[in-house]
Amino acid sequence: MANKPTDESTPEDFDSDAIDESIGEDQAQTDAQKGTQEDAHEASMEQPQEAPDDAATSQDDASEELAKVKDQLLRTVAEMENVRRRAQRDVENAHKFAVEKLLGELLPVVDSLEKAEEAAKTTDNADSMAEGISLSLKLFVSTLEKSGIAIVDPLGEPFDPQLHEAMAMVPNPDAEPNSVMDVMQRGYTLNGRLVRAAKVVVVKGE
């Protein structure tokens, strides 16, 4: 019996092109994997570099916002302090000068009492009348002084335009120039504030 030829291939019988193609595909796959790994590595290296920049920017923004809030707070506190001081000053002025209008209405009464006192002194047998009027006038003036009212009676004093109103200027060699030689109407102040200037006659200078 004749033997059949065995179907065994030798290494020389393999297709070299197929082998080269298979090796090329493996190499390409390996290169692709390596490229993917390198890209991932580069991305992971880039991310930590960007994070500090973002954090620094956020910190700068927060600091700037904090500075704005602090400045606004300081301005608000200063404005509130100014309002408090103005209110306190207004209250103090209201307490000091609350009777200013009343004083203006009472001053003519004082003037009338003064005139009555003068007329009573020039009338015969009117001593008792003059004494009564004088006592009333003193009591009334004392009441005004308790409320912070002071009389401006500058007879013989230098003329002060802040407190006096010159009604006339008269030469007088026996008096100092620019001094008050006669008080036509006394003035009044309320807690240092002028309510009515004294009407005076001033010595005219040479």
| 66 located within any domain | yes
| 75 located within any domain | yes
What is residue 4's predicted lDDT score, i.e. its pLDDT?
47
What is the side-by-side order of every strand in the sheet holding 149-152?
A: 149-152, 187-190, 193-196
For all residues of the chain together, what is the average pLDDT? 78
- Do 136 and 154 sit in the same domain of this protein? no
Residues facing residue 119 across a β-bridge: none
Residue 119's nearest CA partner among 135, 130, 109, 134 is 130
- Do 84 and 113 sit in the same domain of this protein? no
What is residue 145's predicted lDDT score, i.e. its pLDDT?
87
Phi, psi of 7 (to 5 degrees): -90, 70
What is residue 24's predicted lDDT score, i.e. its pLDDT?
55
The C-alpha atoms of residue 87 and residue 2 are separated, in whole angstroms, by 134
| 16 located within any domain | no
- Do 26 and 86 sit in the same domain of this protein? yes
* Interacting residues of 14 by C-beta distance below 8 A, sequence separation 6+: none
What is residue 146's predicted lDDT score, i.e. its pLDDT?
85
Q: Are strands 187-190 and 149-152 parallel, antiparallel or unpaired?
A: antiparallel
- Among 94, 116, 137, which residue terminates a domain? 94
Question: In the chain, what is the greatest distance between 2 CA atoms, to the nearest angstrom?
Answer: 194
| 174 located within any domain | yes
The C-alpha atoms of residue 32 and residue 23 are separated, in whole angstroms, by 14
pLDDT tens for 40-75 read 555 555 544 445 566 677 777 788 888 888 889 999
What is residue 42's predicted lDDT score, i.e. its pLDDT?
56
- Do 53 and 115 sit in the same domain of this protein? no
Q: Which residue has the tokens 């500058």?
A: 154
**Residue 57, token pair as written in the block:** 């920017």
- Do 34 and 54 sit in the same domain of this protein? yes
Tell me which residues of the chain have a pLDDT lower than 50: 1-14, 47-50
Structural domain range at position 129: 99-147
CATH code of the domain in which 183 resides:
2.30.22.10
Q: Which stretches of the chain are DSSP H helices? A: 16-96, 100-121, 127-146
- Do 86 and 114 sit in the same domain of this protein? no
Domain count, the chain: 3
Amino acid at 31: D
**Residue 188, token pair as written in the block:** 């009044």
- Angle (CA) 198 185 174, round 5°: 80
Q: Are strands 198-204 and 193-196 parallel, antiparallel or unpaired?
A: unpaired
CA dihedral defined by 144, 150, 155, 157, rounded to 10 degrees?
A: 180
* Interacting residues of 146 by C-beta distance below 8 A, sequence separation 6+: none
